[in-house]
Structure 1
Amino acid sequence: MEIEKILKITSNLPLSKGVVVNLIYTACIVNKELNIVLKPYGISLQQFNVLRILRGQKGNSVTLATIQERMIAKMSNTTRLVDKLKKKGYVQKELNKENKRKIDITITREGLELLDKIDTLINSAEKKIISSLTDYEAYDLIRLLEKIRLIAD
């Protein structure tokens, strides 16, 4: 359905506004679908992203700056996200041995177990989200989104 009908806009949007509104609206739908999967586990999409970043370190610790750099949503308050995950027992924090102003963060066994439970559900949700696209369309969409992101460089 056209975005104008969905949002009950009576006039045609200029092309640039139509593209941006469609992107934002679709991103909200994707976030909603993924958050539905995560809600029973008591974590947000941003917290899930932090856990996946930490899992990717294969037991090595990273600093808050490294996590922030690798976050999908760059405006997230990484310190707050990590503190919430620490309270839940999914991460641990320690002072960096070389630089006492930095904090080293690692994922705990509980955090890894949580990701093991969630991974299959997230993978299924992601497949459902793009189920109306052919493989060719999915690759084309990735290509087009990458092209739009060039403005960030």
Structure 2
Amino acid sequence: MKIEQAINQRKFKDDYHKIVVNLLFTGNWLRDALGANLKEHGLLPQHYNALRIIKGRHPDPVSAGDIKDVMLDKASDVTRLLDKLEKLEYVQRRLCPHNRRKMDINITPQGLKLLSDVDVLMDTFYDDLADRITAAEAAVLSDLLDKVRG
């Protein structure tokens, strides 16, 4: 569906205005679609992002600052995200032995199992995208998005 139909707008000031609106609309659509896959596991996209970052460093620990640096949603409250993930026993925090002002964060076996389960849902989501655009189109789109950000 074209953006004009999706938001019931016939005309845009110009194509630059149209692309900004389309990016915002599509970003929200992606957030909602991905969120629906995560909701059944009691997670938000930010939790999933944090778990993926922590898993990427596994078995080495990661600090909250390291997570914050690479989060997709820079406005996320990492401490609060980690509090919930720790309460659910998906991550474990310990005082860093080399720097007592820093916490070491590791993913637990339960966290690894959760990611494995969620990744099956995410693969289905990516397969649905592959039904709509080719791999070459996805690469071009990704390159164009990089170019938009400068």
Coarse TM-score class (shorter-chain normalised):
over 0.9
Contact 1:4 1:13 in 2 (8 A): no
**CA–CA distance in 2 between the matches of 1:111 and 1:2?**
39
**CA–CA distance in 2 between the matches of 1:31 and 1:74?**
15
Q: In structure 2, give the amino acid aligned to 1:148.
A: V
1:33-48 mapped onto 2 (5 Å cutoff): 33-48=33-48
TM-score normalized by the length of structure 1 = 0.91
Alpha-carbon deviation of 1:3? 2.0
Of all paired residues, the percent bearing the same amino acid is 37
Q: In structure 2, give the amino acid aligned to 1:14.
A: D
Report the CA distance shift for 1:105/1:44 in structure 2 as closer, same or farther (over 3 A).
same
Contact 2:58 2:106 in 1 (8 A): no
Q: Deviations over 1:41-63 (max 9, x none)?
A: 11111101111111111211111
**CA–CA distance in 1 between the matches of 2:125 and 2:2?**
23
**CA–CA distance in 2 between the matches of 1:130 and 1:23?**
19
Q: Does 1:92 align with 2:92?
A: yes
Contact 1:30 1:129 in 2 (8 A): no
Who is 1:13 aligned against?
Answer: 13
Q: Does 1:72 align with 2:65?
A: no
Q: Does 1:102 align with 2:91?
A: no
Who is 2:142 aligned against?
Answer: 142
**CA–CA distance in 1 between the matches of 2:37 and 2:16?**
32
1:124-135 mapped onto 2 (5 Å cutoff): 124-135=124-135
Alpha-carbon deviation of 1:36? 1.1
TM-score normalized by the length of structure 2 = 0.93
Give the alignment's Cα RMSD to 1 decimal. Answer: 1.4
Q: Give the 3-state SS of the residue equivalent to 1:131 in structure 2.
A: helix
Gap regions ≥5 residues in structure 1: none
Q: Deviations over 1:69-98 (max 9, x none)?
A: 121111111111111100101001111122
